[in-house]
Amino acid sequence: MEFLQTCIDGLLFGSAYSLLALSFSLLFGVMKRINLAFGSTLLLSAVFSLWIDSVFSIGIFGIFLVMLGSSALINIYVEKLCFFPHRGNYGATVSMIASFAIWMQLDELSSFLLPERTASFPSFLPDSLFLIDIFIRIDQLFLFFIAIFMTCIFFYVLYKTNYGLLLRGVSFDRELAKKIGVNSNKITSFAFAFSGIFGAIAAFLILSTESQVTPFFGFWCTLKGLVAMMLGGIGSLPGAIIGGLVLGLIESNVINYLGAEYRDICTYLILLFILVVKPGGLMGSAILRDERAASERI
């Protein structure tokens, strides 16, 4: 029963990692861009929404809407400042370094809006229930189903809409997309905004379960989202979900049987092993093969 409880806790908490991995998958997997400032954009949007609430008392629904809008705008700001000017052969590397500088800037802005270093965040669901001696947190169960739902939305947008087709075309060959009349700059900006909105939904749900926000939340989002995405497979939407759940299972069992101090080292060792055995992650090998075959045809 203890092992079952540990696995359930890991799956439910891993759904938070899955939500972050989904947001990262759009930029890292589809747009081939490493935005190190992504977690900081979520932190700033959360802190800004709490500041707006302290001034205007907008309530939890208002906080949610402000987080969505501000996260989209901040991500567009990051795109225009870090990624738009660097589109050449070394653009990915230079833009990644630039996003690190923006990361520091956004964290400083967050510290101005969060002088107490820790602020309470409103919750909107009851804490827990017991089901046949199994302890289940309602808010984390809600996170789990939202993660599945967002994966379906992501898949539909990327593979069943004209925008998704254009986005994947710009990601594969920006110059060719321009030649056929695609506004690649507009598509890229929309992708960053779209990623910011999904990230804000994830951040809002995670902070609601934790009932607080701290200055370390941005770095935590970046780290956990990256690890979950790499575990599941870069560019794979089902892989993002699976990677987050696997990460949650690993951490919960390590904490239960070895102790919290071994959580991160065991996680990174398992990640290293998976990347050595399957460089594309658990579900990313097929994507790597498809990209290689497409390049050979061209």
Beta bridge partners of residue 130, listed in sequence order: 135
Query: What are the structural domains, with CATH classification, of the chain?
Result: 2-297 (1.10.3470)
Within 10 angstroms of residue 159's Cβ, the number of other Cβ atoms is 11
What phi, psi does 280 have (nearest 5°)?
-85, 5
Q: pLDDT by residue for the chain (298 residues), tens digit each?
A: 788 888 988 888 888 888 888 888 877 766 677 788 999 999 999 999 999 999 999 999 999 999 999 999 999 999 988 888 776 555 677 888 888 889 999 999 999 988 888 899 988 766 656 556 677 777 778 888 888 888 888 888 888 888 888 887 787 777 777 777 788 888 888 889 988 998 999 899 889 888 899 999 999 998 898 888 888 887 777 888 889 999 999 999 999 999 989 988 988 888 888 888 887 788 765 555 555 544 444 4
Cα 122 to Cα 27, 66, 262, 266: the distances in Å are: 29, 14, 31, 33
15 and 225 in contact (C-beta within 8 Å)? Answer: no
Separation between Cα atoms, residue 83 and residue 188, nearest integer Å: 9
pLDDT of res. 78: 92
250 and 270 in contact (C-beta within 8 Å)? Answer: yes
pLDDT of res. 90: 55
Separation between Cα atoms, residue 101 and residue 44, nearest integer Å: 15
Tokens of 66: 């402000």
pLDDT of res. 127: 61
Beta bridge partners of residue 206, listed in sequence order: none
210-214: Cβ within 8 A, 24+ apart: 210/121, 211/120, 211/121, 211/122, 211/123, 212/118, 212/119, 212/120, 212/121, 213/43, 213/46, 213/47, 213/50, 213/114, 213/118, 213/119, 213/121, 214/117, 214/118
pLDDT of res. 58: 92
pLDDT of res. 91: 65
